[in-house]
Chains A and B, each alone.
Chain A
Amino acid sequence: DIVMTQSPDSLAVSLGERATINCKSSQSVLSSSNNKNYLAWYQQRPGQPPNLLIYWASTRESGVPDRFSGSGSGTDFTLTISSLQAEDVAVYYCQQYYSTPFTFGPGTKVDIK
């Protein structure tokens, strides 16, 4: 299984400031056949199902605000919220879909400072 780790476990950021979450996979999720990273990011607000934010490591899902961006390749990835808004308080998960079983990171909780 590909093990996903995230850091930090939680962070508190002032409104309007940048939040950065890191995700690491135990093996590369970059496909040599199509040069795509099989990595997604999800946001889960309290009491809600997860919501897809980013796929292919850096492609924003339709309707997702452009303050969310994803970067990285191979085994190291980052989700950045450029200017934190109150509605961004949530837990964020990375997930690899390179190979089964698909696996999620443990999550990073983002709060307002």
Chain B
Amino acid sequence: GENVEQHPSTLSVQEGDSAVIKCTYSDSASNYFPWYKQELGKRPQLIIDIRSNVGEKKDQRIAVTLNKTAKHFSLHITETQPEDSAVYFCAASSSGGSNYKLTFGKGTLLTVNP
């Protein structure tokens, strides 16, 4: 089955700096890669996703890049703000065949210091 590794497990940045979180996956058939943000005590919420037919996607201060050859994808947050502090999870799934499941990384605790 799919295996998703996420690094780092914790990340502390100063407000205004950029933050990068990296994930690798094992199943070359995976073609959908979402990122979820989870604030303390809340549910995970989708913040951005990318499919395998594109290499990069951007939404305001958030961007995701995908390297299918190397089987890794990254979340980039620019101009970080204290409200970006949360746990971020990457995930991977395959849209083909009978695989309907997301496999999640273990999460990155991002702390943005004012």
A, B assembled together: no
Which of A's residues lie within 8 Å of B, judged by CB?
none
Which of B's residues lie within 8 Å of A, judged by CB?
none
